[in-house]
Amino acid sequence: MSEVRLRFPPSPTGYLHIGGARTAIFNWLFARKHGGKLILRIEDTDAERSTKESIEGIIDGLVWLGIDWDEGPYFQSEFASEHVAVARRLLEEGKAYRCFCTKEELDAKREAALKAKRDIKYDGTCRNLSKEEGDRLEASGRPNVIRFKVPERDGFIGYDDKVLGRIEKHYSEIEDFVIVRSNGRPLYLLCNVVDDIRDRITHVIRGQDHMTNTIRQLLLYEALDAPAPVFAHMPLTLDPKKRKISKRTHGEVVSVQFYREKGFLPWALVNFLVLLGWHTSDDREIFSKEELIEAFSLEGISKANSVFNFHPGDPKFFTDPKALSINAHYIRNIPIEELAGYVEKEFRAAGLWDDSYAGERRQWFLSTLDMIRTRFHTLKDFVGPGRAYFADDFPFDEKALRKNILKHDSLKELLPTLANELELLEEWTLESTEAAVRGFAERMGVKAGLIINGIRTAVTGQLKGAGIFDVMVAIGQERVVRRLKEVPSLYEAG
């Protein structure tokens, strides 16, 4: 049994978007599952639209996601001469022919066909041009493209799609497609097949938008006397209005980078993306890398397109709620040391990092992260709602300020008074702080909740958070006292 070999062939015309990432993930999983190889091949044949930034962006995105490859990146443009040679061979063998029809003629015919409600198919005008006639036209300087000569056969050509099942098409319905431009540059259809043959690709996993290409490429494999790979066409990812997702119409919310910037854990994104159009027959939805590779199979890919359920402008869910929920799941469940690594990057970027978090205050740092992570959804929350644990200049949530502090005039004096008492505490523990706070509330004749919520907001700026005594211990006596003493200034500002 020969080696399993797959490829991910992005065209570098933009950033890596979630559709492309999903394709990469599926190919990667299949390769890993079967001990095969994944080849990264940049399809930059269309030089005008390919950019260096895009290539870097794609590679950067794959690396971030943790999708590793075994060969490449290869660049399709480097094999241009091979593509040309193959086209020439096809021409010489009579499997392709020169077509001198002009673009204008073809456009006119296409329009006419559309009007007459006929299939928009090349009519084969140049198919039977004699060699002499062709040479004469070429010598006269008429530009020409090269078209593949679809065999004149009855019946169907087809293949067994690993997702869709048997797919067939009648030979007579396939047009003589162009394989080389008039400027001599071969087109995708040909290059792709030539490269796949050279790279010994055994399995092609790609989007269903390539289905019509597959039939034509099958013809190419046959003409080149090469075995065709196994094909599996994945369902497409649609937007909530059921339109195909594209960089152009959907912008950043469909780019992989966007999720990095929004505080996603790379594996959480992978886990979410793989669930879009694939499943196991048990109810599992959370997979470690090893579990996912083990569980993955082509049979689990659905036939139907799936909707990426994001709603632009939604204040609560900036992307698919399920993606957010999976990210939150990982944030509160991965080993705390691993999480600390991600948070460190965020802190460094936000200017919140302190070297002691890796040194003498490591334990405090880890336990504090562990305490606050259960109510966080993205890495950004650690520098946002979690800021008060790591910096003195933290913002106050407006609603929290109103509800927990400003609404109660009494707190203006109560909290500073409490601060004076707390300052004298010789021990700063869960027990001592709780006793002090509850004792104080009792003596003052107010409900403990009033004081507790006031402390929460004064000390963290937040409406919600962990148990207040855990919070107080985490933030520390000195800072808690100071923040409580500053409460009166909050009334002035408001």
Partner RNA sequence: GGUCCCAUCGUCUAGCGGUCUAGGACGUCGGCCUCUCACGCCGAAAACAGGGGUUCGAGUCCCCUUGGGACCGCCA
Restricting to residues 79-118, name those near RNA by CB under 7 A.
101-103, 106, 110, 114, 117-118
Region from 25-33, 58-66, 281-289, 412-420 binding RNA, contact rule CB under 7 A = 281-289
Say how many residues touch RNA, by CB under 7 A: 88
Name residues contacting RNA, limited to 258-277 (CB under 7 A): 275-277
By CB under 7 A, name the one of 49, 131, 198, 345 that touches RNA. Answer: 49
Among all chains, which residue has been given the structure tokens 């978090």? 357
From CA 116, how far away is CA 208, in angstroms rounded?
A: 28
User: Is 242 marked active-site?
Assistant: no
| Helix-helix angle 468-475:362-372, to 10 degrees | 150
By CB under 7 A, name the one of 288, 297, 374, 429 that touches RNA. Answer: 374
Asked if residue 72 binds RNA (CB under 7 A), the reply is no
Q: Minimum Å distance from CB 351 to RNA?
A: 26
By CB under 7 A, name the one of 212, 297, 410, 429 that touches RNA. Answer: 212
What per-residue string of b and e applies to 205-214 under the rule 16 or more CB within 10 Å gives b? bbbbeeeebb
Q: Minimum Å distance from CB 347 to RNA?
A: 21
Q: Minimum Å distance from CB 217 to RNA?
A: 10
From CA 177, how far away is CA 149, in angstroms rounded?
A: 8
- Binding flags for RNA, 446-475, as an x/- string (CB under 7 A): --xx--xx--x------xxxxxxxx-----
Region from 52-60, 162-170, 261-269, 486-494 binding RNA, contact rule CB under 7 A = 162-170
The closest of 58, 66, 60, 83 to 8, measured between CA atoms, is 58
CA neighbours closer than 13 Å in the CB half-sphere of residue 396 = 23
The closest of 157, 220, 161 to 194, measured between CA atoms, is 220
CA dihedral 78, 80, 85, 86 (to 10 degrees): 100
By CB under 7 A, name the one of 51, 125, 257, 305 that touches RNA. Answer: 305
The catalytic position among 109, 247, 322, 403 is 247
Q: Minimum Å distance from CB 354 to RNA?
A: 25
The closest of 321, 254, 334 to 289, measured between CA atoms, is 334
Name residues contacting RNA, limited to 378-437 (CB under 7 A): none
The closest of 138, 137, 122, 112 to 178, measured between CA atoms, is 122
Asked if residue 278 binds RNA (CB under 7 A), the reply is yes
Contacts of 419 by beta carbon, 8 Å cutoff, 6+ apart: 480, 481, 482, 484, 485
Could you tell me the sign of the dihedral formed by the alpha carbons of 141, 145, 151, 155, in that order? negative
Peptide bond before residue 227 is cis, with ω within 30 degrees of 0: no
Asked if residue 367 binds RNA (CB under 7 A), the reply is no
The closest of 59, 8, 50 to 31, measured between CA atoms, is 8
Q: Report whether 373 contacts 409 (CB < 8 A).
A: no
Our CB check for RNA shows the closer of 185 and 247 to be 185
From CA 419, how far away is CA 435, in angstroms rounded?
A: 14
**What residues pair up with 238 in beta bridges, in sequence order?**
244, 307
Region from 18-26, 176-184, 248-256, 412-420 binding RNA, contact rule CB under 7 A = 176-184
Our CB check for RNA shows the closer of 45 and 357 to be 45
Region from 29-37, 174-182, 351-359, 410-418 binding RNA, contact rule CB under 7 A = 174-182
First to last CA, the chain: 74
Region from 85-93, 257-265, 314-322, 418-426 binding RNA, contact rule CB under 7 A = 314-322
Q: Minimum Å distance from CB 111 to RNA?
A: 11
Q: Minimum Å distance from CB 277 to RNA?
A: 4
Asked if residue 154 binds RNA (CB under 7 A), the reply is no
By CB under 7 A, name the one of 31, 62, 91, 145 that touches RNA. Answer: 145
User: What are the phi and psi torsion angles at 147 (to 5°)?
Assistant: -110, 145
By CB under 7 A, name the one of 213, 367, 417, 477 that touches RNA. Answer: 213
Q: Minimum Å distance from CB 203 to RNA?
A: 18
Q: Minimum Å distance from CB 114 to RNA?
A: 6
What tokens appear for 61 in the block? 């995105």
Our CB check for RNA shows the closer of 26 and 390 to be 26
Name residues contacting RNA, limited to 180-209 (CB under 7 A): 181-183, 185, 187-189, 191-192, 208-209
From CA 72, how far away is CA 198, in angstroms rounded?
A: 13
Asked if residue 45 binds RNA (CB under 7 A), the reply is yes
Our CB check for RNA shows the closer of 102 and 489 to be 102
Q: Which sequence positions are flagged as catalytic?
A: 247
